[in-house]
Amino acid sequence: MNKKFKHFISILLSLAVVVGSAMIVSAVEPRYSDTHSVTVRLMFDGTTAGCEAEVEGASGTTSITNGHLTLKDSRGNVVGDWSNKKSYTTSLSISESVSGLTKGETYTLSFSANVNRNGKAEPVSGSKTMTCPK
């Protein structure tokens, strides 16, 4: 092989590694010390959105407080908002719905809460973005 071709292949492979690494980093979820999992789900049935969030605290969790679930359209308008959700166990599950949404519109469901364990509150959060099917 000639020298220019080897150089080209070397640069191409280096670029592939950089792009591949960036993709892996972007897929990393937050790691929590007092929380096993945070799950946010957004589903559509026609123009009705099902909005769900679940948090599972680690053993010793005394409560999960300040649960807040918000659904916004692509312009940032709030179309659903549920706050002050709490649980005095190791898990919190919220399930709400909003009807009258616009087909083809993109919506973002955001969730936040505090997992209380060992005398401290660990803030947790998550989000899900989907388009209401046409």
Domain ranges across the chain? 1-30, 35-131
CB count, 10 Å around CB of 130? 14
Residue 16: what pLDDT? 54
pLDDT by residue, tens only, the chain of 134 residues: 576 656 666 665 565 554 444 444 444 456 777 788 899 999 999 999 999 999 999 999 999 999 999 999 999 999 999 999 999 999 999 999 999 999 999 999 999 999 999 899 999 999 999 999 98
Residue 34: what pLDDT? 74
Give the domain 35-131 fold. Immunoglobulin-like (2.60.40)
Rounded CA-CA distance 99/44 in Å is 10
Residue 31: what pLDDT? 76
- State pTM to two decimals: 0.75
